[in-house]
């Protein structure tokens, strides 16, 4: 509490879209002072990833953040966040070994580090993260417990385009044709959901095969991973359980996209 007021933090990398605005809307319900951070965090990008080309539009972000009633916009420079002598990182020992962590080594170390720094700088009582980045949310929940942050972590459901594509700043990279192929991510998850709920298919392999087949039938796509796992531990499962996370990562042209659903029986 700051003078009896609750601070809610929404960490982002900017190029704001309706997914970010949903987090801001939810933040209004939980906090008196809404802080949005806008920081393209260099430590979470691998050497061959898109740090330099990541879409940025600070003027538009300011406009959107103000219209979403942000009280404070925190947009530090990389040099402010990481001085030349910086040498401390936050690393989880288990959760980053799965899913995106396998193809993006070091990514979650960067995420955990910057989120820890933001927590210490902003000192929120509440912080909001999107379920679209499911593994990130799981990691932040874990680190909040492990490092004794007295912060309530709130997950916000994925906001989608009317055609089903999960909103992402990286969607700006997609050509029209690639955008159409990218719809296969959400569509394949819906097919998987039907396989489980209607057809009562429970073998992970059969579901994974169908998702992969559907996605790769679209042009420009390449599967990074398709996984069925426990939503808390992120460990692979052979058969659908009471709660199952289906998480996928797919290259569409040069753009890597992720999506997921949680099935509850």
Residues annotated catalytic, as ranges: 20
Phi, psi of 248 (to 5 degrees): -135, 150
Residue 248, SS3 per DSSP = strand
List 7, 159, 189, 215, residue binding ligand AMP (CB under 6 A): 159
Looking at 90-98, 163-171, 213-221, 234-242, which segment touches ligand AMP (CB under 6 A)?
163-171
**Number of Cβ within a 10 Å radius of residue 143:** 22
Subset of 210-239 contacting ligand AMP (CB under 6 A) = none
Q: Which of residues 6-65 bind ligand AMP (CB under 6 A)?
A: 12-13, 19-20, 22-23
Binding mask 103-132 toward ligand AMP (x if CB under 6 A, else -) reads --------------------------xx-x
Give first-to-last CA distance, the chain, whole Å.
Answer: 39
CB of 113 or CB of 168, closer to ligand AMP: 168
Smallest gap from Cβ 41 to ligand AMP, in A, equals 8
3-state secondary structure at position 77: coil
- CA separation, residue 2 to residues 8, 11, 43, 218, 230 (Å): 11, 19, 30, 52, 38
Count of residues touching ligand AMP (by CB under 6 A): 17
Q: Which residues pair with 155 in a beta bridge?
A: 129
208 near ligand AMP (CB under 6 A): no
- Cα separation, 3 vs 25, in Å, equals 23
Give me the helix-helix angle, 18-30 and 58-67, nearest 10°.
Answer: 40
**Which residues of the chain form beta strands (DSSP E)?**
7-12, 33-38, 72-74, 126-130, 152-156, 221-229, 243-252, 255-264
Q: Which residue among 8, 70, 90, 156 contacts ligand AMP (CB under 6 A)?
A: 156
What's the min distance (Å) between Cβ of 162 and ligand AMP?
A: 13
CB of 1 to ligand AMP, least distance (A): 24
Closest to ligand AMP by CB, 44 or 218: 44
Strand partners, 264: 243
Residues that bind ligand AMP (CB under 6 A): 12-13, 19-20, 22-23, 129-130, 132-133, 156, 158-159, 166-169
């Amino acid at each position: 509490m700051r003078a009896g007021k609750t601070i809610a933090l929404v960490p982002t990398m900017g190029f704001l879209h309706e997914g970010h605005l949903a987090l801001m809307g939810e933040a209004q319900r939980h906090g008196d002072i809404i802080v949005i951070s806008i920081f393209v965090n260099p430590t979470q990008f691998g050497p061959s990833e898109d740090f330099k080309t990541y879409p940025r539009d600070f003027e538009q972000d300011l406009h959107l953040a103000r219209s979403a009633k942000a009280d404070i916009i925190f947009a530090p420079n990389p040099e402010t966040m990481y001085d030349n002598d910086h040498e401390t990182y936050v690393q989880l020992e288990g959760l980053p070994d799965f899913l995106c962590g396998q193809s993006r080594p070091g990514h979650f170390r960067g995420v955990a580090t910057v989120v820890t720094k933001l927590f210490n700088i902003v000192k929120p009582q509440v912080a909001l993260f999107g379920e679209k980045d499911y593994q990130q949310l799981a990691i932040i929940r874990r680190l909040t417990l492990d490092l004794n942050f007295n912060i309530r972590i709130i997950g916000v459901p994925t906001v989608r385009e009317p055609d089903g594509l999960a909103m992402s700043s990286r969607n700006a990279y997609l050509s029209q044709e690639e955008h159409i192929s990218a719809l296969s991510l959400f569509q394949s998850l819906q097919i998987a959901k039907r396989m489980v709920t209607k057809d009562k298919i429970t073998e992970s392999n059969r579901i994974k095969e169908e998702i992969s087949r559907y996605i790769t039938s679209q042009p420009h796509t390449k599967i990074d991973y398709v996984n069925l796992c426990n939503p808390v531990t992120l460990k692979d499962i052979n058969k659908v359980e009471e709660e199952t996370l289906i998480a996928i990562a797919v290259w569409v042209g040069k753009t890597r996209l992720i999506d997921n659903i949680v099935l509850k029986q």
